[in-house]
Amino acid sequence: MRSSRKKGLIVAEQSAYRIFDVRHVGKQILSPHMARITFAGEDVAAMATFAPDQRIKLFFPRADGTLPAIPNRPDWYDLYRAVPPRERAPMRTYTIRSLRADQCEVDVDFVLHGDNGPASRWALNAQPGDRIQISAPNANYRGEVGGYEWQPPAGVQHVLLLADETALPAAAGILEELAALKPRVDAFLEVPDEADRLELPSWDGLDLRWLVREGRSGENRAYGDGMIAAANQVELPRDVLSGSDAEALVEPDNDDLLWDRASSATGGFYAWVAGETGAVSRIRTALVKERGIDRRLANLMGYWKLGRERE
Ligand SMILES: Cc1cc2nc3c(=O)[nH]c(=O)nc-3n(C[C@H](O)[C@H](O)[C@H](O)COP(=O)(O)OP(=O)(O)OC[C@H]3O[C@@H](n4cnc5c(N)ncnc54)[C@H](O)[C@@H]3O)c2cc1C
């Protein structure tokens, strides 16, 4: 008894991220390709989130139905990695859409892209009571936790937001946060079809464009095409065009996601871009190489990769 209480204390104090045992308690279909699943669990009282793009890891049952059973210990990640890949619970990255720690509940918005991946398949079939595990920030940890990139400069005046449906949960949270400040925002949100557009805040100064891949007139654009066109055309302030080293742009390896963090967001402009990795790479070329925007002002993040499974 004493030793398990001591172990609990160690996890509480030492792990920036900890394991949460949760069960599905609600599902809301937001659109044809998006479902919000509410998870509950006693420990969610100790979950924390620091930004609208706070990332978390979800662990799903294996193909044979075995539930994930990662111990909540400071070395949980090493223990997870020590299991041979075929025997591990599949792990995928998601965003905290809404955390109600006082009610021990957390919402995650899932893109329903088919039954070709363990996460989307689980979300399509999930029933109340189904259990998974989540690794998320530990509210009792006293150091810097990280796991988010949305860190606009104080007094930001102009935000460029480009997101596909996987980054829509984060983008929606970003817009809800900005609604209080009302800066100029150019937001381009790409979704599979017309009915996937969601209700979002609006204010003078927010120019929100939905980019629909399968339009009413039968057009069928490739992932990212709409966002790439927007990156080529959007009006950029002159003072963000600088001599950052565009030649040094490095393409991610086959198995990597592109992940460029803004490093010097001190001016009035800030960009947050996330979506399919190949598309984000072309957006980076358009913004940084062709249009000369200072790459230190932009987060450019591959959230998934076409044709590849992603942990
Ligand atoms: C920081 C971060 C935050 C994220 N937040 C969210 C979030 O809140 N909600 C969300 O839905 N996703 C989010 N994602 C994306 C999610 O992690 C990936 O889409 C993941 O691949 C889904 O896992 P899966 O098991 O469904 O498919 P996988 O097993 O990874 O892939 C199987 C196949 O499905 C394809 N695929 C994967 N995702 C999609 C998609 N969206 N559309 C079409 N095909 C796809 C793959 O290319 C592959 O061919 C986030 C990713 C990152 C890095």
The CATH number for 210's domain is 3.40.50.80
Residue with tokens 């990695």: 81
Is residue 184 in a domain?
Answer: yes
Answer whether 308 contacts ligand 1 (Cβ < 6 A).
yes
Ranking 34-38, 154-158, 172-176, 183-187 by mean pLDDT, the lowest is 154-158
18 and 129 in a single domain? The answer is yes
Decide if 266 contacts 216 (C-beta within 8 A): no
**Residue 308, Cβ neighbours under 10 Å: how many?**
11
Q: Give the mean pLDDT of 271-288.
A: 96
Mean pLDDT (the chain, rounded) = 91
Q: What is the mean pLDDT of residues 185-206?
A: 97
92 lines ligand 1 (CB under 6 A): yes
Residue 2 is predicted with a pLDDT of: 43
- The verdict on 28 and 126 lying in the same domain is yes
Kindly state whether residue 209 falls inside one of the protein's structural domains: yes
Lowest mean per-residue pLDDT among 95-99, 121-125, 207-211, 265-269 = 265-269
240: confidence class by pLDDT, cuts 50, 70, 90: confident
In this structure, what CATH number is given to the domain that contains residue 126? 2.40.30.10
Query: Which residue CA neighbors atom 19 of ligand 1 most closely?
Result: 304
4-13, 122-131, 227-236: the lowest-pLDDT one: 4-13
Helices (H), 106-216: 118-125, 168-178
Between helix 225-233 and helix 277-284 the angle, nearest 10°, is 10
Boundary of a domain, candidates 103, 137, 171: 137
Comparing 71-75, 103-107, 123-127, the range with the smallest average pLDDT is 71-75
Residue having the nearest C-alpha atom to atom 53 of ligand 1: 303
User: Rounded to 5 degrees, what are φ and ψ at 264?
Assistant: -145, 60
According to the model, what pLDDT value does residue 244 have?
61
In a domain, residue 298? The reply is yes
- Ligand 1 within 6 A of CB of 54: no
Neighbours of 310 (CB within 10 A): 15
Residue 277 CB less than 6 A away from ligand 1:
no
> 41-62: per-residue pLDDT in tens?
999 999 999 999 999 999 999 9
User: What residues does 293 pair with on adjacent strands?
Assistant: 241
Least confident of 62-76, 208-222, 267-281, 296-310: 208-222
Whether residues 189 and 131 fall in one domain: no
Residue 90 lies in a domain: yes
Q: Is residue 58 part of a domain?
A: yes
Phi-psi sector, 64: left (phi>0), alpha (psi -120 to 50), beta: alpha
Q: Look at 291 and 243; give whichever has higher pLDDT.
A: 291
251 with 179, same domain?
A: yes
Please give the sequence-ordered ranges of beta strands (E in DSSP) within 68-164, or none if there are none. Answer: 91-95, 98-100, 105-111, 131-137, 158-163
Q: Are residues 287 and 235 in the same domain?
A: yes
Same domain, 251 and 119: no
Share of the chain above pLDDT 70, in %: 91
Q: Which amino acid appears at position 202 of this protein? A: S
* Contact predicate 182/163, CB 8 Å: no
55 lines ligand 1 (CB under 6 A): yes
Q: Which of 19-23, 213-217, 285-289 has the lowest mean pLDDT?
A: 213-217
* pLDDT tops 60 at residue 212: yes
pLDDT given at position 3: 47
Ligand 1 atom closest to the CA of 93, numbered from 1: 17
Residues 174 and 294 in one domain: yes
> Looking at the predicted structure, is the pLDDT value of residue 4 above 90?
no
Interval between CA 25 and ligand 1 midpoint (Å) = 22
In sequence order, which residues have a C-beta less than 8 Å from that of residue 125 and are 6 or more positions away?
none
Nearest CA to ligand 1 atom 30: 309
What is the CA(198)–ligand 1 centre distance, in A?
19
Residues 84 and 222 in one domain: no
DSSP class of residue 177 equals: H
Residue 269 in domain: yes
Kindly state whether residues 262 and 221 are assigned to the same domain.
yes
Distance set, CA 257 to CA 273, 277, 279, 296, 311 (Å): 13, 6, 11, 18, 11
Can you give the length of the chain in residues?
A: 311
Task: Tell me the whole-structure pTM to 2 decimals.
Answer: 0.94
Which residue among 54, 111, 198 is best mutated to probe the pocket of ligand 1, counting the most ligand atoms within 8 A of its Cβ? Answer: 111
Q: Is 169 in the pocket of ligand 1 (CB under 6 A)?
A: yes
Instruction: Return the pLDDT at 310.
Output: 81
Q: Which of 107, 120, 227 to mutate to test the pocket of ligand 1 (most atoms within 8 A of CB)?
A: 120
Is the domain of 71 the same as that of 207? no
- CB of 95 sitting under 6 A from ligand 1: yes
Select from 108, 137, 166 the last residue of a domain.
Answer: 137
**Residue that finishes a domain, picked among 105, 137, 169:** 137
Number of domains composing the chain: 2
pLDDT at 13: 65
Token pair in block for residue 77: 């990640």
Q: Is the pLDDT of residue 5 over 90?
A: no
Residue located nearest, by CA, to atom 17 of ligand 1 = 93
CA torsion 87-254-170-165 (nearest 10°) is: -100
Burial class (CB in 10 A: 0-12, 13-18, 19+), 150: buried
Residue range 109-166, pLDDT digits in tens: 999 999 999 999 999 999 999 999 999 999 999 999 999 999 999 989 999 999 999 9
Mean pLDDT, to the nearest integer, of 17-31?
97
Q: Which domain holds residue 118?
A: 9-137
Tell me if residue 282 falls in helix, strand or coil.
Answer: helix
What per-residue confidence (pLDDT) applies to 98?
A: 98
At residue 188 the predicted structure's pLDDT band, cuts being 50, 70 and 90, is: very high
Check whether residue 290 and residue 186 sit in a common domain: yes
Is 311 within the bounds of a domain? no
3-state secondary structure of 147: coil
In a domain, 36, yes or no: yes
Q: Which residue has a Cα nearest atom 22 of ligand 1?
A: 119
Are residues 196 and 121 part of one domain?
Answer: no
- Ligand 1 centroid from CA 55, angstroms: 13
